[in-house]
Amino acid sequence: LKKLVCEYLRSLSIIEDEKLDTELIQFREALKSVSGIITTNYDLLLDNLCDKNEFKPVIGQKGLLSQSHTIFVDEIFKIHGCVSDEQSIILTKKDYENFLEKQKYILGKLMVIFTEYPIIFIGYSLDDKNILTILEDLSISLSVEELKKVSEKWIFVSREVGIDDLIIKEHTVYIR
């Protein structure tokens, strides 16, 4: 199954579209202002959009452990794997359970990144189970004041169907 998913994703390409082209140009320009990228996507879109000399892909926990590098600087941190390494992708329920159980190093790195860097979450909601797991861990580790300070550095970007305008609003997350 992983092989088929990887083959399919490798076969995809970006469609020609004037509006999309404008967004891609703006995205490439915005990349000049970030220190690193975290993604759960397996595809190669970010790899292809980024200058290979500026952002090095780091795939999963093995990628973190097998390389000496500075945390979250000039990296595309592919926490759920990549189509370039079929066995690395997290696809099934069992894969996700294994990730949460055995990938504590990645989760620890993410907690550091979430607290020490400004973060823009693109395409995630505050209902995402993976995001909520990290937020729950942070809520145990930090005081209310510390959580508030850290959360002020987070921006969630999502697109609602049928709405083209930018809507900015604050959210509150209640964690058990």
Query: How many C-beta atoms surround the C-beta of residue 26 within 10 A?
Result: 10
DSSP 35-93: SEEEE---SSHHHHHS-TTT-EEEEHHHHHHSS---TTSSEEEETT-BTTBGGG---SH
Q: Could you tell me which of 49, 48, 68 has the C-alpha nearest to residue 58? A: 68
DSSP state of 174: -
Q: Given this model, what pLDDT does residue 21 score?
A: 85
pLDDT in tens, 118-136: 887 777 777 777 778 888 8
pTM of the model: 0.76
Answer for the pair 24, 48: CB distance below 8 angstroms, yes or no.
Answer: no
In 3-state terms the chain splits into helix, strand, coil percentages (rounded to 5) of 45, 10, 40
Q: What b-and-e string marks burial along 89-101, b requiring 16 or more CB atoms within 10 Å of the CB? A: bbeeeeeeeebee
Q: Which amino acid is at 128?
A: D
Segments of the chain with pLDDT less than 70: 51-53, 65-72, 166-169, 171, 173-176
Q: Given this model, what pLDDT does residue 2 score?
A: 93
Q: Could you tell me which of 126, 130, 128, 133 has the C-alpha nearest to residue 173? A: 126
Q: Which amino acid is at 3?
A: K
pLDDT in tens, 3-22: 999 999 999 887 788 878 88
